[in-house]
Amino acid sequence: MQSNQRGAFSGCFGINRGHKLYPYIKGVSHNFQKQYDPKEAIEKQKIQQKQRYYERNIRRLKYARRQNDVASERKFSQAIRGYQSKLREIVKNNDFLTRQYDREQIISPNRAVIEQFRRDIRYNMTRKKITDKVSDPISKPELNKITKNFRKSGGKIFMGPEVDERLKNIGAEASVIGDDIMMISSGAGRAAIHEELIHIKQVRYYGAPSSDKDVFLREIEAGKLLLKNATKWNLTHKEIEDTKLLIKKYTMI
């Protein structure tokens, strides 16, 4: 056992080792354990380390993409797809490897909120998209100004790639959770922000919606308030027309 460096970093029972002890009786015991070729094991480890390298680079690029502006997004996305292609190839060519998608993800500060949004989606109130035509995104200074009172009262705003993806999946520009969380897509316009602030006030006044009918009535009320304040809030012609269509849609349901 001394030659095997028991307990040492690279020896038997060291860190990340899978060694086990079995009783041995001379002339009676037999070794039925699967035998491995040391050279083959080392080669497989090298290939697996290459897989880990690709995964690390995907995480690094995803984090860099989040920190940079929209203009740089395409460059980072192409680089990410390049490493993902290499991962698919190395897994395809080595049957002892499996694709581990969780190793390609970065930890998101929005993850808990995203999960809550996923669970509570049934009666969520959202600013729905009417067409695929992109709204004029609200500027960061204007967003901060409009939501100042909401944030002072303890409200939180969540934005980012995960939020964009979740809202895209339900065809919305923005949404609320309860009376203190707003989720806003990167392409949301003024109407979406004002509408979600109205929904926040509705929840604080009426309580959480308890049925689809309740949601529809609140959407209609919010739409009418948007039209009433369209000039004051400087809504675009598209936002006004979309709001009219949404009111009509919810009225006919």
The two tokens of residue 118 are 């996923």
- Quick one: DSSP state of residue 33? S
What pLDDT, on a 0 to 100 scale, did the predictor assign at position 123?
A: 46
- Tell me how far CA of residue 51 lies from CA of 13, 39, 40, 75, 125, in angstroms: 26, 19, 17, 22, 42
What are 174's strand-pairing partners?
127, 184
Q: At what angle are helices 237-252 and 212-228 packed, to 10 degrees?
A: 150
Q: For residue 149, which phi and psi values (nearest 5 degrees)?
A: -65, -35
- Residue for token pair 């996305």: 77
Both tokens of 170, joined, read 């339900």
Distance separating alpha carbons of residues 76 and 78, to the nearest angstrom: 5
d(CA 219, CA 127): 9
pTM of the predicted model as reported, rounded to 2 decimal places: 0.55
Please give the pLDDT value at position 193.
95
Reading the chain (253 residues) residue by residue, the pLDDT tens digits are: 445 555 555 667 666 666 777 788 888 888 777 788 889 989 999 999 999 999 999 988 887 877 665 567 788 889 999 999 999 999 999 999 999 888 887 765 555 555 555 555 444 666 766 665 556 889 889 999 999 999 888 888 888 887 888 888 888 889 888 888 888 998 899 999 999 999 999 988 888 888 888 888 999 999 999 999 999 999 999 999 999 998 998 888 7
